[in-house]
Amino acid sequence: MRTQIRTRSVRSVDGRGDEEQNSEHGMVTAMRVGRRADVHCFKSTLGAQTGLLLAALALGPAWAAEDPGSAIVIKFSHVVAPDTPKGKGAEYFKKLAEERTKGRVKVEVYPNSQLYKDKEELEALQLGSVQMLAPSVSKFGPMGVKAFEVFDLPYLFDGYEAAHKITHGPIGAAMLKQLQPHGMTGLAFWDNGFKEFTANKPLRRPDDFKGLKFRVKSSKVLEAQMRALGAIPQVMAFSEVYQALQTGVVDGAETSPTNIYTQRWHEVQKFMSLSHHGYDAYAIVVNRRFWDSLPADLRTILESAMSDASRYVDSISAQEEIEAINAIRGSRKCQVVELTAEETSSLRQVLQPVHQQMGERVGRELLESIYLATRSDRKQSEASAVLPVAVR
């Protein structure tokens, strides 16, 4: 773990030093200390200077290099393990960006909530304390960008092909634009994958969920999903889930198999049910002011690096999901529960009304346009149940 975040090589376009510039954004302390203290100081800085977020959004950092000898640093913070599609995608982007800009850009990847937890990393991006993130889109809701919670609707997509029609098509592009007024530029969507439920009992039918407490991301749609199953949702940062499961603060959780395996939830949960009930997307976002201040040629190179990194993530995510399920099975610490078509359909039936219930929140027009764009996939896959062939 890094104990100090170096900012020495980053220079401002207007010639001011780091300290002055960061001070303007209330971030001197956070930029100069290690992880825990960093989070701590960041919180207190925020607490003491609530108006600063708005000020930072208005002024924003402008950290392009004025000195051709010094690299522009992109701090890319994320909350998952390096050995996941997102972790690998971040490293691949770093490699391509540094190679193709011939050292003019340096990408520092901070995985595993090393710098910030879920909500804090979004605030840190808006303030310019980090430049790039890849949060699960469910986490944009508390910022007021509710449309992204549409992805949390249970059984919205039957497979990657359907999901990519949205994330890699015009609907996804329009959604990313909604981040601009919040001080962010959305560059791409990546897959986390399809989520499975974990608990200390096999979860096969809606009745199995009754009265259990489940950790969810900060999404009202996910809260509604758990309530529809008769469970109690509890919003919690990703980095806190392992301990919450271990100590029984919550009874269960949901995420992708790669996250379950790399966060070792399977060591503290007796069962993982292959419910495949929801698609989890990431949006790769950059601080808008930072991005706009880059020389145009660099932005073009970075966009191409991101586009290739996105293709790479697409190419590995489904396979990594299968490998993680097999690894969890092989660990013999957690039983992998395969659902019958009838059990899956009983879950679908109870969860379907969440679409109607949360339609207003996510935007009915958006939801209809997603149905329309993916309807043919839906029909095809309804005939062959929900799970990808390799998992079944």
Binding site for ligand LMR (CB under 6 A): 79-80, 136, 192, 217, 238, 255, 259, 280
Residue 182, strand partner residues? none
CB of 286 to ligand LMR, least distance (A): 17
Spatial distance between the Cα atoms of 371 and 373, rounded to a whole number of angstroms: 6
CB 261 within 8 A of CB 255: no
Nearer to ligand LMR, 131 or 136 (CB): 136
Least Cβ distance, residue 91 to ligand LMR (angstroms) = 15
* CA–CA gap between residue 246 and residue 198 (Å, rounded): 12
Nearer residue to ligand LMR within complex by CB, 18 or 321? 321
* Biggest distance spanned by C-alpha atoms of the chain: 65
Q: How many CA atoms lie within 13 Å of 379's alpha carbon, on the beta-carbon side?
A: 4
Q: How far is the CB of 310 from ligand LMR (least distance, A)?
A: 16
Whole-angstrom distance between the N-terminal and C-terminal Cα of the chain? 39
For 68, other C-beta atoms within 10 Å of its C-beta total 7
CB of 58 to ligand LMR, least distance (A): 29
Q: How far is CA 380 from CA 38, 158, 162, 164, 166, in A?
A: 49, 9, 11, 16, 17
Distance CA 46, CA 53 (A): 8
Question: Encoding tokens for residue 114?
Answer: 């090393």
Residue with Cβ nearer ligand LMR (52 or 235) = 235
Nearer to ligand LMR, 80 or 339 (CB): 80
Whole-angstrom distance, CA of residue 171 vs CA of residue 183: 20
Nearest to 107 by CA among 68, 72, 60: 72
Q: Judged by CB, which is closer to ligand LMR: 12, or 255?
A: 255
Which one-letter DSSP state was computed for residue 182?
G
Cβ-based nearer residue to ligand LMR, 72 or 274: 274
Q: Give the integer Cα–Cα distance in Å for 40 and 60.
A: 22
Q: How far is the CB of 217 from ligand LMR (least distance, A)?
A: 5
Residue among 122 and 294 whose Cβ is closer to ligand LMR: 122
In whole angstroms, how close is the CB of 192 to ligand LMR at the nearest point?
5
Q: Minimum CB separation from ligand LMR for residue 118, in Å?
A: 6
CB of 123 to ligand LMR, least distance (A): 16
Candidates 300, 330, 318; CA nearest to 162 is 318
Judged by beta carbon, residue 255 or residue 381, the one nearer ligand LMR is 255
